[in-house]
Amino acid sequence: MDTRRYYQLNETAAVIWAVLQTTGERATALAELQRSFEVDEETAARELDRVLVDLLERQLIVPQNESA
């Protein structure tokens, strides 16, 4: 990607990004959000989905089944 753009992530998105770089698993990201921010699963899932949609729309990530 050569967009010459920089993106700044908030704390929540940074946690998600770190998990995506290591395991790429939604379940792991969900658990890490719950642990890091001491929130319930519903709250963590809502925020995770919001961030994932944003990253997808900006083409910063691709679904695993499309990366091959």
Per-residue pLDDT tens digits for 17-46: 999 999 999 999 999 999 999 999 999 999
Residue-range domain boundaries for the chain: 11-61
Question: Per residue, what are the HEC states of 1-68?
Answer: CCCCCCCCCCHHHHHHHHHHHHCCCHHHHHHHHHHHHCCCHHHHHHHHHHHHHHHHHCCCCCCHHHCC
Taking the model in full, what pTM does it have? 0.85
Confidence band, pLDDT 50/70/90 cuts, at residue 1: low
Confidence band, pLDDT 50/70/90 cuts, at residue 2: low
